[in-house]
Structure 1
Amino acid sequence: MMSRDFPSRRTVAGFPMACVLIISALLIACQSPREALQQLAQEHGRQWEVLPGQDFPLFILAPRSAEKMTRLRVYLEGDGHSWSTATQPSLDPSPHNLLVPRLAVNDPTPNAYLARPCQFVMAAACQTALWTHRRYAQEVIDRLSQALDQLKQRYGNSEFELVGYSGGAALALLLAAQRNDITQVQTLAGNLSPRMWATMKGLSPLHGSLEPLDYRDRLALLPQRHFIGDADSIIPGDLAARYQQALGSPLSQCIHVPEASHDSGWEAAWSRWAKTPLAHENP
């Protein structure tokens, strides 16, 4: 009798746990990108807030400490969920993959995470052009630059290091070309030249966007390190090589990461390199 009942009791006992797991998975799937980012911040003891701005409030993860620092590392988000389909722009460009925030919260270096305009927080001025063909436009650069000024005023740092992922790489380079307080740039799976990238991918030009290589004289003086995922199908593997050739600067270094695709393999790779000084970093 016991042997007949035992399998039945095991099934009954296991059923609630299966339900719990299914419900938990459904709750996670139902989270909005903003709710998921807020939960990530809470789990890692990071403060999230929305920086006010005239046109575009920006979502940030603030540094763990408010102590005065010489250099602040700022992680710049990628293009996010800019397209719903190959021809239909997304209505919400917030990234679904929180790779960049995870890199930030796991980095002991004093850092802030900076989202792009219209990511995680929408405003009346948000239009699809800002995350499609104008994703690297001057108004985007201006708002991110204003945010850096706000951080600088708050934390008293005199310098920034920018870490840009995907399209955030182009923005990091454009900010460095237009500011005097960015001492180095690092990029992961970076779109280093939107103009060359569009040509290589057979895409329409990003009309209204700026091109980092138009500032090559400024950028040639900037220490920079670019990590390329050898399994990346979004950013062509030789884009960085073409950027290097066009830039012609000994201060720019490329590192290949064999195990990385566009959106995976970066956490392990970055944990190995996050504290490694650039080859030409000033002591």
Structure 2
Amino acid sequence: MTRTDLNPHSRVGVWLQGLALLISALLSGCQSPLQALQDQALIRHQHLEVIHTPTFPLMLGMPSPAPVSPRLRVYLEGDGHAWATSRQPSLDPSPLNLMMAKLAFSDPTPSVYLARPCQFVSTQACTPLMWTDRRFSPEVLASLDHALDQIKARLGNQDFELVGYSGGAALALLLASRRDDIAQVQTLAGNLSPRQWVALHDLRPLTGSLEPLDERQRLAHVRQRHFVGSEDRVVPPPLLDRYRRALGEARCVQSIVVPGARHGEGLEQAWRTWRNQPIACQP
């Protein structure tokens, strides 16, 4: 009978090779959010840099060479990895899901990607309060507002289109309520009203955060299109209905419910289909 068993030394060698492959796989799975963002930027020929504002430094991603257009689309990141557990804030709010960066980097329309304060780049002002209760605070809004000023001065665009994901939607609306150069706002799984959102989920109020609907008179004149997944349990479709009712008389607000989509999943194709379509307005 011919034996085909490996000798002990061969078995040890195979075991060591398998262990090395396992360790390599584990290490690749432990890639940091910043490394993942850098990889996506490299694949899509994007340039990453840090914009310094008086309140927070912000990560910016844009094509190389920089886009030149009268209107610039700005993809505004969501809340990211704000919570480690249901009660424990995370130590790093950088997003683990890079959907917004991927959408921005693959968009043929002149576009840039703008992360939220404390995502990918930190400073002493970055405490858990800034990505939990104060995620929509005046200082967070001021940093994004200042970043838009810098981008406009550098690229020479006349106005902006803001695209906000999740909590980035609330900030997009707040920016639109205070600036005169926001042509339109589109949102993906957007938290359009933090006040209504915490009430729906029976959460404590976001102390120190601003509320878009407090600026409803100005927002009623802003062109808006909002995408929500039919299976989204974080920002469910009824919240969009509540926002529209609370907004009052607004002619140019369009809602799109994406069948089967969840929070941050299944929205990409609908976005690519509709992103450049004119927003429908009522007569």
TM-score by length of 1: 0.91
2:192 corresponds in structure 1 to 192
Deviates most, 233-242 or 56-65 = 56-65
Change (3 A) 1:20 1:185: farther
Per-residue deviation, 1:222: 0.5
Q: Give yes or no for contact 2:45–2:63 (8 Å, CA) kept in 1.
A: no
2:10 corresponds in structure 1 to none
Per-residue deviation, 1:19: 6.8
Change (3 A) 1:71 1:24: farther
Distance 1:38 1:168 in 2: 21
1:28 corresponds in structure 2 to 28
1:257 corresponds in structure 2 to 258
AA matched with 2:251: P
Q: Give yes or no for contact 2:223–2:279 (8 Å, CA) kept in 1.
A: yes
Change (3 A) 1:17 1:176: farther
2:272 corresponds in structure 1 to 271
Hey, which bits of structure 1, 4+ residues long, moved more than 6 A? 14-21
1:229 corresponds in structure 2 to 229
AA matched with 1:240: L
Distance 2:16 2:261 in 1: 38
Per-residue deviation, 1:272: 1.5
User: SS where residue 237 of structure 2 aligns?
Assistant: coil
Q: Give yes or no for contact 2:76–2:162 (8 Å, CA) kept in 1.
A: yes
Change (3 A) 1:36 1:221: same
**For 1:92-127, what per-residue CA distance to the aligned partner results, in whole angstroms no more than 9, with x for missing partners?**
111111111011111111111000000000001111
For structure 1, the 5+ residue unaligned runs are 6-13
2:246 corresponds in structure 1 to 246
Change (3 A) 1:51 1:84: same
1:98 corresponds in structure 2 to 98
Change (3 A) 1:252 1:24: farther
**For 1:183-211, what per-residue CA distance to the aligned partner results, in whole angstroms no more than 9, with x for missing partners?**
10000000000000000000001111111
User: SS where residue 227 of structure 1 aligns?
Assistant: strand
1:10 corresponds in structure 2 to none
Per-residue deviation, 1:278: 1.6
1:139 corresponds in structure 2 to 139
The aligned runs of 1:54-73 (5 Å cut-off) are 54-73=54-73
Distance 2:68 2:178 in 1: 24
1:167 aligns with 2:160: no
The aligned runs of 1:149-168 (5 Å cut-off) are 149-168=149-168
Distance 1:206 1:234 in 2: 16
Distance 2:40 2:24 in 1: 16
**For 1:212-251, what per-residue CA distance to the aligned partner results, in whole angstroms no more than 9, with x for missing partners?**
1100110000000000111111112200001011112121
Q: Give yes or no for contact 1:60–1:112 (8 Å, CA) kept in 2.
A: yes
Distance 2:257 2:64 in 1: 31
Change (3 A) 1:21 1:123: same
1:78 corresponds in structure 2 to 78
Distance 2:254 2:21 in 1: 45
Q: Give yes or no for contact 2:55–2:142 (8 Å, CA) kept in 1.
A: no
Distance 2:162 2:205 in 1: 26
For structure 2, the 5+ residue unaligned runs are 5-13
Change (3 A) 1:30 1:71: same
Q: How many residues align?
A: 278
User: SS where residue 196 of structure 2 aligns?
Assistant: helix
Q: Give yes or no for contact 1:64–1:110 (8 Å, CA) kept in 2.
A: no
